[in-house]
Structure 1
Amino acid sequence: MKLEQGLVQIYTGNGKGKTTAAIGQGIRSYGNGLKVFMLQFLKGGETGELKTVMELGENFKIFRFEKPKDFTWNLNEKELEELKLEIRDGYNFILDVIKNNKCDVLIIDEVMAVLSNKFLTVDEVLYIIDNKPKNMELIMTGRNVPKEIIEKANLVTEMKPIKHYFEEGIDARKGIEY
């Protein structure tokens, strides 16, 4: 199966579920014979989805270019410079994927956080959108989507928290949040 028309989807907001929704779409696409690449920015630790997707084989792959690190706000100057270089490697990988049409569905997880931290520019993300192959679906996640990117998207879904157990003092749980 090949897509006739690939669109641009964004999952954003302060609520839980952005990455989960993107992976769910990836699983659906994979199940229908599409090749899925997911690049995860700012995620270096072990997660359940990483292990599961690795077992799927060549048609659904997760790529990470960053070494495991603390949260960006806890990094020193040297660690931040290293992170910027790793993010640049990830961006260059994305450019190669779109230039050579290497997958049917491209998921760029936490790209909006990369923008918020000024590791990439809005123009660089717009370049991805404008240059993706016509038949490639592009899915991006993260909070605080710039309006220029919203305007280019075909679908923007906002995850809005109504109630969250973090407010009850319950920390992130393995198997649920990661």
Structure 2
Amino acid sequence: MSGPADGAGGAAAGGRGWTAPPPPERVEPAGTADERTLLAAYLDYHRATFARKVAGLSAEQLRRRAVEPSSLSLLGLARHLAEVERSWWRRRVDGQDVEPLTYDGANPDGDFDDVEDADAAADLAWLAREQQLARDVLARHSLDDTFEHARQGTLSVRWVLAHLVEEYARHNGHADLLRERIDGEVGE
């Protein structure tokens, strides 16, 4: 499994000379916002932080497994985060019939592992698209809406928001280390 192939990347966009696009503006969450606004703002803050970690890197740099012995790469993290957004928001919260694109039962870590031939431009565009689709799903649901999860039982949209903040925060730490090893950049 290689990931999304929708024409967003391709040889021209992901080939020699291509670099990951500049990140969106990163906005500090307001100190006095209501719960929904605050949680959504923190999630967007962490999404923008990840975009900062990959901005300006080439496809080869994004594929690099720079922190041995770990097999993590920034592109693997981007693909994983796209799958996380897709799975939690579209499949679970919204009940959409969408399958994983980069992993399956035979290759459960394909999102992380199968980056050698992955189209970096298409995968970063896919992550941005899943993030926007997630915002659209959140706009249609209350924090108190629930769904059934096979292993964890009944979960709320509130739980998903908090979980995704945790997911991005954890992987942004990984991204910090990877980026520093790739080109010496340290982030905030």
TM over 0.5: no
Q: Which fold has the larger relative contact order, with Cα–Cα distance below 8 Å and residues 6 or more apart in sequence?
A: 1
Q: Name the TM-score class by shorter chain.
A: under 0.3
Higher strand share: 1
> Given the two structures, how large is their TM-score scaled by the length of structure 1?
0.28
Higher helix share: 2
